[in-house]
Chain A
Amino acid sequence: QQQAKQSPQSLIVQKGGISIINCAYENTAFDYFPWYQQFPGKGPALLIAIRPDVSEKKEGRFTISFNKSAKQFSLHIMDSQPGDSATYFCAASVLRPTMYSGGGADGLTFGKGTHLIIQP
């Protein structure tokens, strides 16, 4: 199963700082790149997503930066708050999954997650 390679595995940021999580992928067929946020004891939930026709997408304090040539994308959390402390997963999927895509019916594959702690 092709995966998205996520880094760092854990991250500690001071309140008010910028949190940056990176993700790299190999399959050039990927064309949808979401980030999921997971709080302890809960299931992940979609935070923000981007398609490769744009290089950046911003929603409030959360921004995805996308570099198609480098096959990388990153999540930036501006003015990080203690409530942002969670595990973040990058993911990637294809529009038309095949039996070789991996990731189930949607061809969605996840990174291994980043445990983010925002210190007050």
Chain B
Amino acid sequence: SQTIHQWPATLVQPVGSPLSLECTVEGTSNPNLYWYRQAAGRGLQLLFYSVGIGQISSEVPQNLSASRPQDRQFILSSKKLLLSDSGFYLCAWSAWGGGNTEAFFGQGTRLTVV
């Protein structure tokens, strides 16, 4: 069966520090991978998605970047965190090919920038 792992679960970082959140998927090949941010009352904001190794699409220009060094690994990074980067970050995957497929979410990372 497929599983998605996301870590860490919580993170407190000072302003200006770097960020690296990692997500891995098991039990499937060539998944579509996503990073979402969830702020209170603002729903799920799609940040990045990837359809393959090294292929990253950004939905919202901001202080973050994403990379996909391996088929089932997706990393969210920042060189210098801002207070506004605080939020609940979710990684998700879906099966490759077309739309109308279920998205499977990780457990999320609660990031607090202080």
Does A pair with B? yes
Size of interface on B: residues with Cβ below 8 Å to A: 28
User: Is the pair B99, A46 in contact by a Cβ cutoff of 8 Å?
Assistant: no
Interface residues of B in 17-47 (CB under 8 A from A): 32, 34, 41-44, 46
Closest-by-CB residue of A relative to B50 is A105
Known: A96-B99, A106-B103, A108-B103. A44 touches B44 (CB 8 A): yes
Chain A hits for B99, CB < 8 A: 32, 93-97, 101, 106-108
User: Is the pair A43, B90 in contact by a Cβ cutoff of 8 Å?
Assistant: yes
Give bound CA distance, A44 to B90, whole Å.
9
Contact with B along A87-108 (1 / 0, CB 8 A): 0010001111100011111111
Question: What number of A-B contacts does a CB cutoff of 8 Å give?
Answer: 81
Chain B hits for A108, CB < 8 A: 94, 99, 103
Give bound CA distance, A94 to B106, whole Å.
23
User: Is the pair B94, A106 in contact by a Cβ cutoff of 8 Å?
Assistant: yes
Give bound CA distance, A87 to B99, whole Å.
24
- Judged by a CB distance under 8 angstroms, whether B61 is at the interface is no
User: Is the pair A43, B92 in contact by a Cβ cutoff of 8 Å?
Assistant: yes
- Judged by a CB distance under 8 angstroms, whether A120 is at the interface is no
- Complex A-B: 19 CB contacts under 8 Å: A1-B59, A6-B43, A43-B92, A43-B105, A45-B105, A95-B99, A97-B99, A102-B46, A104-B32, A104-B46, A104-B49, A104-B57, A105-B51, A105-B57, A105-B94, A106-B99, A107-B99, A108-B99, A112-B43
